[in-house]
């Protein structure tokens, strides 16, 4: 499978969201990454269900909703009702990850688990089977436009090895500081989905940047 590109709408211009979705609809983007922040789990507040519903109405691409919130079990159903196709919550935000994964899937969405930079990928060992996606944070969550933490490459390789050894089809998504300067190294380490906010929306030609990220060819992995 070739990799997927998920531009992060957090970096878009909210004054003309429709135009940005129009651009994404016409582009090579595979998903649209939607960052939900509650001001508690992360020190920033973004948007909630009402805006996600509006986004769904204008998006031709699946919405990949990243919940950076405490008590995610209280809100997953409402985000799925608003149109989220992929729902990712943080392992650090719940004591019942396994239950929440199976619940999200029972509601018809794909389930993802996100890990903060300090959380080891070994913490996934007992929930990896049946998990649709792992989102490795390559910045501290809460803000766009931060610098990629290079240690993430090591985490990607370790996780890719676990997934390959167990013959799973869990996707590895990398979120934070991803752009044309490091995408190839990230893909070579074993990533399947690249989230890209600033590097797409702050570029001169976002459509072209998406296309360039999408067309990177990887012949063999680093492992
Ligand atoms: C960070 C968010 C990211 C963010 C990425 O908390 O989870 O999805 O939008 O933005 P860039 O690509 O600008 O680092
Ligand atoms: Zn995100």
How many other C-beta atoms lie within 10 A of the C-beta of residue 185?
14
Q: Are 192 and 4 in contact (CB under 8 A)?
A: yes
- As a whole number of angstroms, the distance between CA 121 and CA 117 comes to 10
- As a whole number of angstroms, the distance between CA 51 and CA 71 comes to 20
Predicted pLDDT at 14: 87
Q: Are 174 and 193 in contact (CB under 8 A)?
A: yes
Q: Is 62 in the pocket of ligand 1 (CB under 6 A)?
A: no
Predicted pLDDT at 57: 98
Domains for the chain: give ranges and CATH numbers.
Answer: 4-214 (3.20.20.70)
Residue with tokens 């509650």: 38
- As a whole number of angstroms, the distance between CA 136 and CA 174 comes to 5
Cα 200 to middle of ligand 2, angstroms: 14
The pTM of this model reads: 0.98
Which of 6, 9, 88, 175 for a ligand 1 pocket mutation test, highest count of atoms within 8 Å of Cβ?
175
Cα 66 to middle of ligand 2, angstroms: 5
- As a whole number of angstroms, the distance between CA 55 and CA 51 comes to 6
| Among candidate residues 213, 71, 40, 47, the one with its CA nearest the CA of residue 141 | 40
Between β-strands 32-37 and 63-68, what pairing exists: parallel, antiparallel or unpaired? Answer: parallel
The tens place of each residue's pLDDT in the chain, 223 residues long, gives 699 999 999 999 988 999 999 999 999 999 999 999 999 999 999 999 999 999 999 999 999 999 999 999 999 999 999 999 999 999 999 999 999 999 999 999 999 999 999 999 999 999 999 999 999 999 999 999 999 999 999 999 999 999 999 999 999 999 999 999 999 999 999 999 999 999 999 999 999 999 999 999 998 777 6
Which of 36, 146, 173 for a ligand 1 pocket mutation test, highest count of atoms within 8 Å of Cβ?
146
Q: Calculate the alpha carbon distances from 222 to 5, 39, 83, 195 in Å.
A: 20, 37, 36, 20
99 — alpha (psi -120 to 50), left (phi > 0) or beta? alpha
Cα 10 to middle of ligand 1, angstroms: 7
């Amino acid at each position: 499978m070739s990799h997927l590109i998920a531009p992060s709408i957090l970096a878009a211009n909210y004054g003309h969201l429709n135009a940005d979705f129009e651009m994404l609809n016409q582009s090579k983007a595979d998903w649209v990454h939607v960052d939900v922040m509650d001001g508690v789990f992360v020190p920033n507040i973004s948007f909630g269900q009402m805006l996600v519903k509006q986004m769904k109405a204008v998006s031709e691409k699946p919405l990949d909703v990243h919940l950076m919130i405490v008590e995610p079990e209280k809100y997953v159903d409402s985000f799925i009702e608003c149109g989220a196709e992929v729902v990712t919550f943080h392992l650090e935000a719940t004591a019942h990850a396994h239950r929440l994964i199976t619940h999200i899937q029972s509601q018809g969405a794909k389930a993802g688990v996100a890990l903060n930079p300090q959380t080891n990928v070994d913490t996934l060992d007992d929930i990896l089977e049946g998990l649709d996606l792992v989102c490795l944070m390559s910045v501290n969550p809460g803000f766009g436009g931060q610098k990629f933490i290079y240690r993430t490459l090591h985490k990607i390789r370790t996780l890719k090895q676990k997934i390959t050894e167990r013959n799973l089809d869990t996707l590895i998504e990398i979120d934070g500081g991803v752009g044309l300067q490091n995408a190839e190294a990230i893909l070579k380490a074993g990533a399947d989905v690249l989230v890209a906010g600033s590097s797409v929306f702050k570029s001169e030609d976002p459509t072209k940047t998406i296309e360039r990220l999408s067309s990177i060819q990887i012949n063999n992995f680093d492992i």
